[in-house]
């Protein structure tokens, strides 16, 4: 299974829903980068993704986007394929 990285914060309901969806699809490890605890990471996240909100998710080398993007991939069946590579 590819490495999953998620920029997150401790008070974000969408982050919790994204984590729940990923775990329901078999993801056991999620590397969380807490932008609320490490403000420099927020700047890095915005530079990399062009977005200001969390979650921002990477699966392997692919930037997936936020929670809405993740659920859209899941509905299309593409999340399972991405996680299987």
Could you tell me if 27 and 4 are in contact, meaning their C-beta atoms sit under 8 angstroms apart?
yes
pTM score of the predicted model: 0.94
Confidence class for position 85, pLDDT limits 50, 70, 90: confident
**28 Cβ contact partners less than 8 Å away, ≥ 6 residues apart:** 1
Each residue's pLDDT tens digit, 4-51: 999 999 999 999 999 999 999 999 999 999 999 999 999 999 999 999
| Domains along the sequence of the chain with CATH | 4-84 (3.40.30.10)
Supply the DSSP string of the chain, one letter for each residue: ---EEEEE-TT-HHHHHHHHHHHHTT----EEEETTT-HHHHHHHHHHHS--SS-EEEETTEEEESHHHHHHHHHHTHHHHHHH-
């Amino acid at each position: 299974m590819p490495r999953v990285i998620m920029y997150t914060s401790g008070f974000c309901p969408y982050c919790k829903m994204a984590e729940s969806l990923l775990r329901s699809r078999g993801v056991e490890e999620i590397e969380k980068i807490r932008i609320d605890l490490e403000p420099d990471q927020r700047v890095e996240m915005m530079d990399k993704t062009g977005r200001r909100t969390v979650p921002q998710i990477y699966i392997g080398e692919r930037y997936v986007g936020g929670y809405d993007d993740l659920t859209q991939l899941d509905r299309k069946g593409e999340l399972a394929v991405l996680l299987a590579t």
